[in-house]
Chain A
Amino acid sequence: MKYSKQEYLDYVDKKSPDSPIWKNVLIAFLVGGAICTIGQGFSEFYKNVVGLSEENVKTAVPITMVFLGALFTGLDLYNKLAKHAGAGTLVPITGFANAIVSPAMEFKREGWVLGLAAKMFTIAGPVLVYGINSSIIVGLIYYLIQKL
């Protein structure tokens, strides 16, 4: 019995159990929302207690969240939460830190340069490549529009 690729995919799709999407989405909403609320807490703290300028608050909050994401990944707590929370732990900037620390820890044994340091960018690299490149393209367009 021969399947075409599409038929095979359809077959697998039919046989694999439906993941309870509403439940995944609800957990992602709650966990993602909670992480952002923590970020908001730091934002208020830096603004009202530390007295940072608005500009510096906008830098201090991501730095803090990245620190916490990296720390809790090291403690193996972030990955445990991520197993249930899916996009709720992926999309906040703490998930970006998680994507850096996880492969770096894992590949540490392959060396300091091509192990730890190179693998830090397995996922962070593409994010920076597409993020910075698209900002440069936007900049070029913006610059040209201004000149015309």
Chain B
Amino acid sequence: MQYLNAFWVGGVICAIAQVLIDKTKMTPARILVSFVVAGVILGSLGLYEPIADYAGAGATVPIIGFGNTLAKGVMKGIAEKGFIGIFTGGASAAAGGIAASIFFGFVMAIIFKPKQK
């Protein structure tokens, strides 16, 4: 059942983004930025965790989940380290994804040549 939940929730999140692209002419970059910020806000209010519990990767794989990770991380950071946690919490929680993006992005960009359009 977890697979079905992941499929339809993840699909709905992407479908919402597609409606925004088609109806508001938002650029892909703006969609990504808005969805991350939305994830931080939803995560900080504790509204995203129930969705993540229900849908698993359907909620964590979309970029909103990245925002949720940042928000949860900052609250955990504050609980553990106090004021310093405001600055370290978000980035620490998201460190794996960020570092992997930079590393694999770099490696793949070196290995592969851009295709002629």
Is A93 a contact partner of B66 (Cβ separation < 8 A)? yes
**Is A139 in contact with chain B by the CB < 8 A criterion?**
yes
Complex Cα gap A88–B7 (Å): 12
Q: Across the interface, do B11 and A66 meet the contact criterion of CB distance under 8 Å?
A: no
Chain A residues with CB under 8 A of B115 = 76, 79
Contact count band on B? 35 or more
Interface residues on A, range: 35 or more
Q: A91-B17, A135-B90, A139-B78 are in contact. Are A62 and B22 (CB under 8 A)?
A: no
Total contacts A-B at CB 8 Å:
277
Distance in angstroms from A103 CB to nearest chain B CB is 9
Among B6, B22, B33, B87, point to the contact of A136 (Cβ < 8 A). B87
Point out the residues of chain B lying under 8 angstroms from A99, CB to CB: 28-29, 32
A120-148 vs B: 1/0 string, CB under 8 Å? 10011011101110111011111100100
Can you list 6 A-B pairs, Cβ within 8 angstroms, ordered by A? A29-B15, A33-B8, A91-B62, A99-B28, A131-B39, A134-B41
A residues at B contact (CB < 8 Å): 19, 21, 24-44, 58-63, 65-67, 70-71, 73-76, 79, 86-88, 90-97, 99-101, 104-106, 108, 116-117, 120, 123-124, 126-128, 130-132, 134-136, 138-143, 146
